[in-house]
Structure 1
């Protein structure tokens, strides 16, 4: 099997695979639905496949084409080993080939981090690519816990800081009131730095190590703050991340996203289905997504429970909670 990659002026990536007579015949016998089955697995990337004789033409986003090549090459090898078409093109076989493609050639080896960032799902790869891109100024990752949204946002921010694309990395999150918590002036205005930032600190330590984290903070290149401390500030030449953004109301969300100055970007991550607001009105994250999705100022990535990578048990629990919420009270 040989490959001929090219890139069009419109940035459409193309590749052609020369298949063996036997494997091309197997694909034709299985029908067009076999190839069509691959395309939805690549969302949010786009790609097309077309078989002419023994040549399979692929076109679309570069990452999608690279993953399709991996899937088809793996299928061709399995065919040579005598595997049946039903086994070769089964959903779990396709999923395994995509994971292999992500692990082999689509990891992000980025300066500023101790280890390469290895996406575990196609959505993670697309999200990370958008985080590292020059535009748009607003990127939103929405979906359940355990899908890697916060980890990737922090990794991208640290890399862009190291590369000199931004001078400051600002990480903020709203305070979530616990049952029985005494409300103080600081918690009411969301200006208190407390134990709820431990998860962010743990992630940063894993990504760059405790010494580098301390150095960045002492140089004031990295700030971790409650959302309330963003009020009245303008962040110039900064990469701003707001985590757990579903726990801000519309007014606070508006305040946060309008802090951007020149050469700045903002990333918001959160789960619109898991809101913990204390009598402050509806969540601002869902409202913001409705406002900006599809516009030229933002990209929105919707993660699902099927893309949870933390642990299979977490995915099962999230699916059960989602099902229970959908059924509502009897």
Structure 2
């Protein structure tokens, strides 16, 4: 029976590739009908055919390449890599690492942490309109902001426009004190926090004063054409059908849009349907538009966040 032993730099390096979980090695064995043994800093693969051994070796090779680029490998990444190789998608997986995924901004470099995040970022650069849909903590807004800042610094867009529907747990802007800028700041705080990671406070202030970075409540978008801009609509699950259509039709020459939202966090009245929920059925087959769906395995916050999301999903499944 053909056999191959692959060595790694250290036992830790090897264990990180399969998340130190024997279940992942068992998944490899079951998927490819092979015997896979991991010990110390080596893994041995036994199978009836060399092609099967090649496929299992490809899984480790792809994960190692991702690890070297900053991928924090989780069970979901391992499983997706196994599924991808088994489905003959090795080249597609490899392409995620061929083009640099690191986004350099003035204050820090941003590295996608999961395969899902890598695909999302690739999608943003390859499409004019991208929908990032998924649970909290998956980086959908943060990575969109990183892409926007990167393209602005490269001179590929002239402005960054940040928008959000003014709906939050049943409140509206009118309940908040202050002028328009003060009223909408709480709604755009997550976007500003992301900006603060990538640009200095003085840069953010200067660019905002010059209109290069613009904050615009969704309600104030009507009638505008947004050209040569990177436009981010956050919390899009709280748009109505009419608002979503209005926003999408603002797209002008040289612009791109990223629309992010979590369909489990809809705050608009139940009598109104979510524009984000509707649009994924209306535009799903249009060329130039991509829908990226994050999973709970893409959560990159505290490890408990992923477990919390999974617990809520189980609760909803049994109570609806």
Q: Same fold (TM over 0.5)?
A: yes
Measure, in 1, the Cα distance between the counterparts of 2:268 and 2:124. 27
Measure, in 1, the Cα distance between the counterparts of 2:167 and 2:207. 27
Question: How many equivalent residue pairs?
Answer: 260
Residue 150 of structure 1 corresponds to 141
Q: How does 1:49-88 map to 2 (within 5 A)?
A: 52=50, 56=54, 69-71=61-63
Q: How does 1:1-330 map to 2 (within 5 A)?
A: 22-23=4-5, 33-34=31-32, 52=50, 56=54, 69-71=61-63, 94=78, 108-133=101-126, 136-178=127-169, 181=171, 184=174, 192-278=183-269, 281-328=272-319
Q: How much does 1:278 deviate?
A: 3.0
Structure 1 residues 317 and 264: alpha-carbon distance in aligned structure 2, compared to 1, 3 A threshold: same
The question of whether the paired residues in 2 share the 8 Å contact of 1:249 and 1:280 is answered with no
Q: How much does 1:105 deviate?
A: 8.4
Q: How much does 1:140 deviate?
A: 0.6
Find the residue that maps to 1:246 and give its secondary structure.
helix
Measure, in 2, the Cα distance between the counterparts of 1:152 and 1:268. 12
TM (normalized to structure 1)?
0.68
Q: How much does 1:131 deviate?
A: 1.4
The question of whether the paired residues in 2 share the 8 Å contact of 1:169 and 1:240 is answered with yes
Superposed CA deviations along residues 164-189 of structure 1, whole A, max 9, x for unmatched, are: 1111111101112445x5773999xx
TM (normalized to structure 2)?
0.70
Measure, in 1, the Cα distance between the counterparts of 2:193 and 2:32. 44
The question of whether the paired residues in 2 share the 8 Å contact of 1:175 and 1:196 is answered with yes
Unaligned runs of 5+ in 2: 7-24, 35-48, 67-73, 83-93
RMSD: 3.7
Find the residue that maps to 2:108 and give its secondary structure.
coil
Measure, in 2, the Cα distance between the counterparts of 1:152 and 1:93. 18
Structure 1 residues 54 and 72: alpha-carbon distance in aligned structure 2, compared to 1, 3 A threshold: farther
